């Protein structure tokens, strides 16, 4: 099972861009059995899937965020990243990265510990 660790700023100003990185160890992000996902959780709320990056670099985004979200990977560093533009207070959340098994099982088998991002001036 891979191990994942999110890094990024804890505070972002409204209208600016949020950038987060997920470092992966134990498995290559090019491994075809694993895809890579970002999931967030607003304070006191449930889990919200944001987007998924395939082992080949193709991305799928939540319809509600498609216009503001960009996911990409760096195989040389074995990490993948999220970029969310034009943030507002509604983007304040704990952001988790996770690995997605895409065989017939289709489930998030490993998660990072999460990183809290607050959008505030």
Partner 1 sequence: SSEVTQDPAVSVPLGHTVSITCQGDSLRRFSVSWYQQKSGQAPVPVVYATHNRPSGIPRRFSGSTSGDTATLFITEVQAEDEAVYYCNCRDKSGSYPVFGGGTKLTVL
Q: Where does this chain bind partner 1 (CB under 8 A)? A: 37, 39, 46-49, 52, 60, 62, 96, 100-101, 104-109, 111-114
Q: Pick the closer one to partner 1 by CB: 105 or 120.
A: 105
How far apart, in whole angstroms, are the C-alpha atoms of residue 22 and residue 8? 9
Nearer to partner 1 by C-beta: 46 or 121? 46
Q: Which strands form 69-74's sheet, in the order they lie side by side?
A: 3-7, 18-25, 79-84, 69-74
Q: How far is the CB of 73 from partner 1 (least distance, A)?
A: 18
Compute, in degrees rounded to 10, the torsion defined by CA atoms 62, 66, 70, 71: 20
- Name the pairing type of β-strands 34-41 and 47-53: antiparallel
- To the nearest whole angstrom, how small is the minimum distance from the Cβ of residue 100 to partner 1? 7
| Shortest distance in whole angstroms from residue 58 CB to partner 1 | 12
């Amino acid at each position: 099972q891979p191990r994942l660790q999110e890094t990024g700023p804890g505070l972002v100003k409204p209208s600016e861009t949020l950038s987060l990185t997920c470092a992966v160890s134990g498995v290559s992000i090019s491994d075809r059995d694993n895809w890579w996902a970002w999931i967030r959780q607003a304070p006191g709320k449930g889990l919200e899937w944001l987007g998924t990056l395939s082992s080949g670099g193709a991305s799928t985004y939540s319809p509600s965020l498609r216009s503001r979200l960009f996911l990409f990977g760096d195989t040389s560093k074995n990490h993948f990243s999220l970029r969310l533009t034009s943030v507002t207070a509604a983007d304040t959340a704990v952001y988790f990265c996770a690995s997605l098994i895409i065989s017939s099982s289709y489930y998030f088998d490993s998660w990072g510990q999460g990183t809290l991002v607050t959008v505030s001036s």
